[in-house]
């Protein structure tokens, strides 16, 4: 069996034959590789028993290496290493000459001098700053040195969660396929620790999670510009009209001094009676009703991961 390591920056691959996958064998291989390439800051691995042992943890802790496990049932979390495992196995099946050790070294050498499709440069150029000499170099001898900048590949936009976000986490046990939970820790760019409603904390990849938003009981009406429309309560409008339409208790035929009204006052009363009563207009005005849109609201395709 093989122990395969991949440098995430240069795509440089190292593969070693091991007789066992326990912690002691893994530490022995890593110590030899670290003596050549240096100590990394982060090490990503699957959930194998050899990587979860105390010997392996102690070795990484002493060297100041942060250990990140890939999400269970999601090999794509450690995709670069999984791709190289598949590539080396397929190459070994095609090679017939030499023993397994010789075949493995030939495969690694060809991979080190071949430009990567993701970076545009060979792993040896990015790691050592130069091209390794090979049999192909004899075809073009005495070439001037060339420097080729690493081509930055834009990363695909991924969903991101924050601590406290309500989510649905994939359930691989019995019961429902998705369980309600809350994000309590961000373990990496794509890995999170989710606390379920039962109190159990599970490690999940972003592909094994969905946003979950609860719908509130009160919904705002939206106008054509998708802005909240202010709707006045009908009770207040009716109350205002009742106050304005209240009849006066003063008899217009009696003057202020208690005597009969004069001719001028009578004419003024007739003119006031002929004029339109503003209170009547307000009273006759129907109460404004809440406008309801008749259009069909369709769910946005970009929000298909949101669960309502």
Pair (124, 186) in one structural domain:
no
**Do residues 249 and 124 share a domain?**
no
Phi, psi of 66 (to 5 degrees): -85, 125
Q: How confident is the model at residue 39 (pLDDT cuts 50, 70, 90)?
A: very high
Tell me, yes or no, whether 74 and 43 share the same domain: yes
Distances (CA, A) of 240 to 145, 235, 237, 245, 280: 89, 9, 5, 9, 12
Average pLDDT for the chain: 74
Same domain for 130 and 41? yes
124 and 239 inside one domain: no
Q: 29 lies in which domain range?
A: 2-138
Of 86-90, 154-158, 215-219, the least confident: 215-219
Residue 134 lies in a domain: yes
pLDDT of residue 293: 72
Confidence of residue 116 (pLDDT cuts 50, 70, 90): confident
Q: Is residue 159 part of a domain?
A: no
Domains held by the chain: number: 3
Answer yes or no: do 123 and 241 share one domain.
no
Structural Rg of the chain based on CA atoms: 39
125 and 8, same structural domain? yes
Residue 92 banded pLDDT, cuts 50, 70, 90: confident
Q: Which CATH number belongs to the domain containing residue 113 in this structure?
A: 3.30.420.10
**For helices 23-37 and 54-62, what crossing angle results, to 10°?**
20
Q: Is residue 98, in this structure, part of any structural domain at all?
A: yes
- Per-residue confidence band for 234, with pLDDT thresholds at 50, 70 and 90: very low
Tens-digit pLDDT profile for residues 168-190: 999 988 888 999 999 999 988 88
Q: Check pLDDT > 60 for residue 160.
A: yes
Is residue 92 a part of any domain in this protein?
A: yes
Q: For residue 149, is it within any domain?
A: no
Using alpha carbons, list the distances in angstroms from residue 189 to 153, 209, 225, 249, 265.
Answer: 17, 14, 36, 77, 86
Give the global pTM.
0.49
**Is 238 a member of any domain?**
yes
Residue 112 lies in a domain: yes
């Amino acid at each position: 069996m093989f122990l395969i390591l991949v440098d995430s920056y240069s795509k440089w691959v190292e593969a070693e034959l091991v007789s066992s996958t326990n912690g002691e064998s893994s530490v022995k291989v890593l110590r030899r590789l670290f003596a050549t390439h240096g100590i990394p800051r982060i090490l990503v691995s699957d959930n194998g028993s050899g990587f979860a042992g105390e010997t392996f943890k102690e070795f990484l802790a002493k060297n100041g290496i942060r250990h990140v496990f890939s999400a269970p049932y999601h090999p794509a979390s450690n995709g670069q290493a999984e791709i190289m495992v598949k590539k080396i196995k397929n190459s070994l099946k095609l090679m017939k000459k030499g023993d397994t050790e010789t075949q493995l070294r030939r495969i690694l050498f060809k991979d080190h001098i071949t430009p990567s499709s993701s970076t545009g440069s060979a792993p040896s150029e990015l790691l050592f700053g130069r091209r390794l000499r090979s049999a192909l170099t004899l075809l073009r001898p005495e070439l001037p040195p060339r420097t080729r900048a690493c081509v930055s590949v834009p990363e695909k936009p991924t969903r991101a969660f924050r601590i406290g976000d309500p989510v649905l986490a994939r359930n691989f046990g019995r019961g429902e396929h998705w369980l309600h939970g809350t994000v309590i820790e961000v373990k990496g760019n794509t890995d999170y620790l989710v606390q379920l409603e039962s109190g159990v904390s599970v490690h999940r990849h972003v592909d094994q999670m969905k946003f979950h938003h609860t719908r509130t009981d009160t919904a705002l009406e939206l106008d054509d510009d998708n802005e909240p429309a202010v709707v006045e309560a009908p009770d207040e409008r009716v109350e205002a009209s009742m106050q304005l339409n209240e009849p006066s208790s003063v008899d217009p035929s009696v003057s202020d001094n208690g005597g009969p009204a004069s001719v001028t006052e009578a004419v003024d009363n007739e003119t006031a009676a002929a004029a339109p009563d503003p209170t009547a207009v307000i009273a006759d005005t129907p109460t404004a009703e809440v406008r309801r849109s008749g259009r069909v609201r369709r769910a946005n395709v970009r929000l298909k991961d949101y669960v309502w």
